[in-house]
Amino acid sequence: MAALIAENFRFLSLFFKSKDVMIFNGLVALGTVGSEELFSVVAFNCPCSPARNYIYGLAAIGVPALALFLIGVIWNNHTWNLVAECHKRGTKNFSAAATFLLFGSIMGRACVAPITWSVISLLRGEAYICALSEFVKPSSLDKFPAEYGADVLAKFPCRDVPANLTKFRDEVTRRLRYESQLFGWLLIGIVAVLVFLTKCLKHCCSPLSYRQEAYWAQYRSNEDKLFRRTAEVHSRILAAKNVKQFFGFVALDKEEKELVQEFPVEGVQPSPQWNAITGVYIYRENKGFPLYSRLHKWAKGVEGNGPTPEGHELLFLAS
């Protein structure tokens, strides 16, 4: 049982596998900040109407955050690797903890942009003020005229109020902006603590040394670049051969002619090979030697994704 817990606990290294992940997350955050600023300048316009303010303010924060979250899930390679894994092989090779933490990896990466959006929205305070201005209790405002109610408070974000309520509008705006920014800073602090704890756990629980993990990250990056580049050339040459067979000739530029002459393509890879290199990959060692990817495992002729007498499953998920 202790060994099983230790194996599953190593899945806590799902997040922040390399500096590339942190750079990517930083770029996503910067892009989200720019988008939020543009949205606030161009699109945000509080209706200043009771019952509408709350819905509009929450929608201004929540709907873009939801959209960014879904985009993050769609863009994450783990999402489609998991879909392929479930479709082709099911989840029989993963424990409940492994599956949960795999989803955690996908969700964590996808949360970068929506959290950034929410933080910037809260620090700006416009949406929060719009949403909650009508809920400020008049009794909390010193000497607030009794004849005014929520309908007037709802107009405070638009500054469309009687002159005798100007000081109350400023006080309400200042109070709500303080609350909004406080929530924003608290959210930043919570996320920072979670990131710190996750990185500490990742380094403590990683089965790999720092240098081997860095090598693995470099290998994955190089394999992906070379695979994409080779696949593009292979598909272009194969397409040229098929077009030539149909028309009797093919119109190629000089570079494409050189590619066709240099790399003869005889056929295509069968579906079982594509299935073997597609899906979620968990770090494995076979007879003491590391297998860094599904392609690497296929090239070495190792079958299956689960532990075997010759292979040791270290339960370390590739980013």
**In the chain, what are the domain boundaries?**
39-205, 210-300
Q: Which pairing describes strands 289-291 and 311-317: parallel, antiparallel, or unpaired?
A: unpaired
pLDDT in tens, the chain (319 residues): 344 334 343 433 433 344 455 555 555 565 555 565 555 545 678 888 888 899 999 998 999 899 989 999 998 888 887 787 777 666 666 666 667 777 878 888 889 889 988 998 899 898 999 999 888 888 888 888 877 777 888 888 887 777 788 888 888 889 999 999 999 999 999 999 998 988 888 778 777 888 888 898 899 999 999 999 999 999 999 999 999 999 999 999 999 999 999 998 888 899 889 988 887 777 788 888 899 998 999 999 886 554 443 344 444 454 4
**237-241 long-range Cβ contacts below 8 angstroms, 24+ apart:** 237/263, 237/264, 237/265, 238/265, 238/268, 241/265
| Residue 157 to residue 154: CA distance in whole angstroms | 7
Record the pTM. Answer: 0.69
pLDDT of residue 69: 93
Helix (H, G, I), strand (E, B) or coil at 270: coil
Joined together, the tokens standing for residue 190 give 């919570």
Instruction: Kindly tell me the sign of the dihedral angle through the C-alpha atoms of 124, 126, 128, 129.
Output: positive
| Residue 17 to residue 23: CA distance in whole angstroms | 11
Angle, alpha carbons 308-212-314 (nearest 5°): 25
Q: What is the DSSP letter of 228?
A: H
CB 275, CB 309: distance < 8 Å: no
